[in-house]
Amino acid sequence: MGNPIVISRDVTGLHKVFLYSFSQIFGDISPGGILYPRESESREVRSLDGVWNFRLSPMDEPTQGLTQQWYQQELRKTGDIVPMPVPASYNDIGPNVTFRTFWGLAWYDRTFFAPSSWKDQRVWVRFGSVCYAAQVWVNGKEVASHEIGHLPFSGEISQALNYGGNNVITVAVNNTPDQTTVPQGRINSVKTSDGIKHVLYFNFDFFQYSGIDRPVYLYTTPRVYIDDISVMTDIENDTGVVNFNVSILGLSEDSEEPSIAVNLYDRDGQVVAESTGAEGVLRVPDANLWWPYIMHPKPAYLYTLEVIVNGNESDVYRHPVGIRTVSWTNTSLLINNHPFYLRGFGRHEDSDIRGKGVDYSLITKDYNLIKWFGANGYRTSHYPYAEEILDFSDRQGIMGLSLVDDHISSGFSDELLNNHKTSLSELIRRDKNRPSVIMWSIANEADTDEDDAVPYFKAYFLKGPSYANWTVTSMLLGRQAQFLDVICINEYYGWGSTVGIQEVVKHQVMVDVTSWHQLHNKPVVVSEYGTDTMAGYHSVGRFQLPSSGGSEEYQMEVMSQQFEAFDEAHSEGYLAGEMIWNFADFMTDQRTKRVNGNRKGMLTRTRQPKASAHLLRWRYHSLARKLDNATIARPADSDTHFYVSSWFARSPQGADSSFHPARDCERNTQERQRRKGEEGEQDFERSVIKYSFDSCKIRRVKIIRHVKLRQV
């Protein structure tokens, strides 16, 4: 099932999922289904991936392709074309900087054959994503359009096809941002010796790759077809419960009333439950639940839901289903009623040459590495990831905080709100059935301090579909955090303006996490922390000369400080996870603070480990052993003098005998309880705030606001 929705809270404080009608649960979800194309007895799927023809619009006449109707003929007849791989971002494929920095309309086309056997069916084209906006023609007829990248769209092309012959598909891609697009951006003007130059500007920290970056499929369905399937799962003792809802489209007055059969198969192809009708409940005794990686010896168990529609024609669609629940208390996250601690990363879809283009070799390598680290989740920062990537998460048990395109910084207009809501609603429509998706995250580091932000996010929260999480970075969020279920904070102590002062880390992290929890009585996840680090740059560590920012040693030292704070906050009971920024180095715009991209990765952009990768691996493995009771082997190369976790040996040999459960944490807790007892709850909070105010001047404004917000 997709993301659980809190509808009620019981007196124990455990937030439970109750099943209401699907429309209530999914709120303003975008209409119509967007099922992934899958072959079956009634459906054919053909990939249109490969090498397409490509040309950019002239910079001085960006709309030329539209005014001259390039889509009415093959692109090669309109001017010079170059080959362009699909899926891939076009920016780093071209021979020159024009491709890299281009903004405006880019044009693609290719031909394909449509067999005569398709004539009696419906034929569709489906794009996994086009960044940012797309218009699609087949043989000169417009068949689809879509705005907002990183999300799929489809269009029926039955009426436009030349059956038994060749067809031309043309796509115009527009990557021009403004203050109402999601994410926001603008075109800046710069005076140069050749006159005014118009350049793309984004105020977020990743390269805005453009183009047809995810797979393109043609697929067929019968005329009466399964348009969408929604599942919500629950657990009653040992019984797995699968609530399903099927929507069928294409019925005409002459259509026979279709009958619907729904079967659930286990991994061995045995039917374990069956039902009929468009809505119903399947019960699976002794169900194999979907568990995250490492939390269970058989993680990521997937059943197959088969839907068969019989009428004048029949349609069959098979959908993977993981049976699991996600819930949360005011301190923790739970999966299948067991508390879990998120240990993972912020990531990017990013690699050289292909940009954000889907690449199975890269995806497979990345998941091998995620598991090598012993991570159990990640945040799909800062946009919805490819379905092909999330399939790996579903199949391997890697939990995900699924982010809508979340860089909304300011200029909170109605149009922006509309686009933002559409994007979240399309994301939920796409991923609602994925067991690996455990939260929806809707904004990253928005300017929540602006007055316009309050009504903006209020409207977003009240009318939009449900979600569970909002990522924020500073104390300024206070007014909006009341609407959230889980609070994620980004913090960069020991970096940014405190680079070189790593002593600030532990204390400030505790202050942030504690204050957020106390202010809203909700679980807190640290969704970003980290330092830029040049692989191969070393400075001597803290036990000899001071290490300096940017070195591999410094990155480990800051991490080590963060780990101590995380363990302390976790032992207090309200830190529900930690996600380092970033899994791997990634490309950004050219900026003064970026040396060929962002270097906060544990891995280089080519996925080679920095020293920190080993430190993180030690930590995640030791957390898995302690918190998930996992029997995974301790990493062999575990000789470290860094703080890894309170359950990990500090001895250079890392011998197993020194594996001591939660001793430090308990001591810390006792000390804090003693302090609370002496000072009283209120005083304790105030002293925390005052202390941070004194010890770190940078936080002064934020802390003052924090105090004010508490009075709101």
Residues labelled as active-site residues: 445
Q: Does 3 bind ligand GCB (CB under 6 A)?
A: no
Q: Does 612 bind ligand GCB (CB under 6 A)?
A: no
Q: Which residues contact 680 (CB under 8 A, 6 or more apart)?
A: none
Q: What are phi and psi of 239, to 5 degrees?
A: -95, 130
Q: Which residues contact 678 (CB under 8 A, 6 or more apart)?
A: none
Q: Where are the alpha helices (DSSP H) in 539-591?
A: 552-572
The one-character DSSP state at 551 is S
In the complex, least distance from residue 586 CB atom to ligand GCB, rounded to whole angstroms: 8
In the complex, least distance from residue 527 CB atom to ligand GCB, rounded to whole angstroms: 8
The site string for ligand GCB over 147-186 (x = CB under 6 A, - otherwise) reads ----------------------------------------
Residue whose CB is less far from ligand GCB, 203 or 413: 203
Pair of tokens at residue 487 = 């609070």
Instruction: State how far the Cα of 83 lies from the Cα of 75, in Å rounded to an integer.
Output: 11
Q: Does 598 bind ligand GCB (CB under 6 A)?
A: yes
Candidates 208, 423, 490, 508; binder of ligand GCB (CB under 6 A) is 490
Residues 376, 409: contact at Cβ < 8 Å?
Answer: no
Q: Interaction with ligand GCB in 569-588: which residues (CB under 6 A)?
A: 581
Q: Interaction with ligand GCB in 310-369: which residues (CB under 6 A)?
A: none
Residue whose CB is less far from ligand GCB, 57 or 473: 473
Residue that is written with structure tokens 């601690």 in the block? 341
Residues 569, 549: contact at Cβ < 8 Å?
Answer: no
Residue whose CB is less far from ligand GCB, 600 or 706: 600
Residue whose CB is less far from ligand GCB, 313 or 445: 445
In the complex, least distance from residue 353 CB atom to ligand GCB, rounded to whole angstroms: 21
Instruction: State how far the Cα of 438 lies from the Cα of 340, in Å rounded to an integer.
Output: 12
In the complex, least distance from residue 460 CB atom to ligand GCB, rounded to whole angstroms: 19
Instruction: State how far the Cα of 393 lies from the Cα of 398, in Å rounded to an integer.
Output: 5
Q: Does 445 bind ligand GCB (CB under 6 A)?
A: yes
In the complex, least distance from residue 492 CB atom to ligand GCB, rounded to whole angstroms: 7
Residues 100, 56: contact at Cβ < 8 Å?
Answer: no
Q: Which residues contact 510 (CB under 8 A, 6 or more apart)?
A: 565, 568, 569, 688
> Count residues contacting ligand GCB (CB under 6 A)?
11
Q: Which residue is nearest to ligand GCB (CB)?
A: 205
Residue whose CB is less far from ligand GCB, 204 or 340: 204
The site string for ligand GCB over 508-547 (x = CB under 6 A, - otherwise) reads --------------------x-------------------
Residues 261, 160: contact at Cβ < 8 Å?
Answer: no
Candidates 351, 473, 508, 555; binder of ligand GCB (CB under 6 A) is 473
Q: Does 444 bind ligand GCB (CB under 6 A)?
A: yes
The site string for ligand GCB over 179-208 (x = CB under 6 A, - otherwise) reads -------------------------xx---
In the complex, least distance from residue 382 CB atom to ligand GCB, rounded to whole angstroms: 6
Candidates 122, 296, 430, 600; binder of ligand GCB (CB under 6 A) is 600
Instruction: State how far the Cα of 30 lies from the Cα of 24, in Å rounded to an integer.
Output: 13
HEC readout, 364-413? HHHHHHHHHHCCCEEECCCCCCCHHHHHHHHHHCCEEEEECCCCCCCCCC
Residue whose CB is less far from ligand GCB, 393 or 444: 444
In the complex, least distance from residue 187 CB atom to ligand GCB, rounded to whole angstroms: 22
Distances from the Cα of 40 to the Cαs of 157, 207, 219, 652, in angstroms?
A: 20, 38, 11, 57
Instruction: State how far the Cα of 559 lies from the Cα of 575, in Å rounded to an integer.
Output: 16
Instruction: State how far the Cα of 274 lies from the Cα of 464, in Å rounded to an integer.
Output: 33
Burial 36-45 (b: 16+ CB within 10 A, else e): bbeebebbbe
Residues 258, 248: contact at Cβ < 8 Å?
Answer: yes
Residue whose CB is less far from ligand GCB, 382 or 702: 382
Residue whose CB is less far from ligand GCB, 74 or 589: 589
Residue whose CB is less far from ligand GCB, 49 or 445: 445
In the complex, least distance from residue 532 CB atom to ligand GCB, rounded to whole angstroms: 7
The one-character DSSP state at 643 is -
Partners of residue 578 on adjacent β-strands: 343, 526
Q: Does 221 bind ligand GCB (CB under 6 A)?
A: no
Residue whose CB is less far from ligand GCB, 598 or 668: 598
In the complex, least distance from residue 600 CB atom to ligand GCB, rounded to whole angstroms: 5
In the complex, least distance from residue 544 CB atom to ligand GCB, rounded to whole angstroms: 28
Radius of gyration from C-alpha coordinates of the chain: 26
Q: Interaction with ligand GCB in 370-389: which residues (CB under 6 A)?
A: 382
Distances from the Cα of 268 to the Cαs of 122, 233, 317, in angstroms?
A: 32, 20, 18
Pair of tokens at residue 600 = 């906060």
Q: Which residues bind ligand GCB (CB under 6 A)?
A: 204-205, 382, 444-445, 473, 490, 528, 581, 598, 600
